[in-house]
Amino acid sequence: MEFDGKKVLITGAASGIGRATAIHFAAAGAQVTIGDINAAGLEETAGMMAASPNVVPYDASDFDSCRALVAAAATDGLDVLCNISGMMKWGPSLDFSVEDFEQVMKVNTTSIFVLCQAALPHLIESKGNIVNTASAAALQGIAYTIAYSASKHAVAAITKGLAIEFAAKGVRINAICPGHVDTPLAATPPPQNDDVDWSLVMRNSPKLLDGMCDPADVAEMFAFLASDRARKVTGALFSIDGGQVAG
Ligand SMILES: NC(=O)c1ccc[n+]([C@@H]2O[C@H](COP(=O)([O-])OP(=O)(O)OC[C@H]3O[C@@H](n4cnc5c(N)ncnc54)[C@H](O)[C@@H]3O)[C@@H](O)[C@H]2O)c1
């Protein structure tokens, strides 16, 4: 199988895209470590996987916990890191608190840097790779979503910068930019505020008739980018969005 013997760390695996990606990699033969803040959700995911994973709860906003997650996943080496944990908060910018802005940046951006930093020595050893989760919100501005969009633009920047820095050491780093995916995060309740102009939010919706992605669609892209089939791909942002950001 494609990932036989490969050691793969997947964050955000208690739900949505992370769960589907964990299921996909286990079915393809990988030895998977799954991390998330939601320990019960991780156990549920473990029960859906073809082989028992290493289950490691962690909190992305606690950087020592991020480093401990990588250490637990890499006791015997590490081939692939899939950074999928993330959170969403949105609302009119005049009312959006600086505390909420900083929390989104910490969970969606700084933790990604810390996890990459901790994983890279192992990936240099294995000539492995990283697949980050950016977003359509990394490629365009979205009203009322300034913190989330800033956090995902920063993930794109981390991806491209690290790809350049580590290419000569044989490590590939890419990111996926999903559009609307059917997960709990995408169902984060909208702000109840008369100031919200929905036409500004919906102007770049998916164009395909069935443009909303399933988590399994995105898992396929993680597997492709992590595999040797993508051996010439690094520093790239791959959209899977039903045409959402095409125009
Ligand atoms: N669903 C979408 O439409 C969409 C679109 C573009 C990008 N994304 C990105 O995809 C990724 C996965 O999201 P999803 O849609 O599967 O949502 P989800 O809510 O199903 O999964 C997100 C996971 O991240 C975990 N998480 C949140 N905060 C954490 C923390 N502090 N520490 C550890 N884990 C934490 C949650 O527990 C959850 O299991 C996120 O990075 C998200 O920003 C989602």
**Tens digit of each residue's pLDDT (9 = 90 or more) over 4-46:** 999 999 999 999 999 999 999 999 999 999 999 999 999 999 9
Q: For residue 7, what are the β-bridge partners?
A: 31
The matching CATH number, chosen from 3.40.50.300, 3.30.2290.10, 3.40.50.720, 2.60.40.1220, for 7-240 is 3.40.50.720
The answer, yes or no, to whether any atom of ligand 1 lies below 6 A from the CB of 91, is no
Q: Where are the domains of the chain?
A: 7-240
pLDDT at 196: 84
Q: What does pTM read for this prediction?
A: 0.98
Answer yes or no: is pLDDT of 102 > 90: yes
The answer, yes or no, to whether any atom of ligand 1 lies below 6 A from the CB of 100, is no
The answer, yes or no, to whether any atom of ligand 1 lies below 6 A from the CB of 242, is no
Cα of 168 vs centre of ligand 1, distance in Å, is 31
Cα of 216 vs centre of ligand 1, distance in Å, is 14
The 8-class DSSP code of residue 111 comes to H
Task: For the beta carbon of residue 75, count every other beta carbon within 10 angstroms.
Answer: 11
Which tens digit of pLDDT belongs to each residue from 148-187?
Answer: 999 999 999 999 999 999 999 999 999 999 999 999 999 8
CA gap 42, 44 in Å, rounded: 5
pLDDT at 72: 98
Residues taking part in catalysis: 148
Please report which residue ranges of the chain form alpha helices under DSSP H: 16-27, 39-48, 63-73, 98-105, 111-126, 146-166, 198-202, 215-226
Q: Report how far apart, in Å, the C-alpha atoms of 15 and of each of 117, 190, 209 are.
A: 25, 20, 25
Which tens digit of pLDDT belongs to each residue from 198-228?
Answer: 888 888 888 898 889 999 999 999 999 999 9
At 57, give phi and psi (nearest 5°). Answer: -65, 145
pLDDT at 225: 98
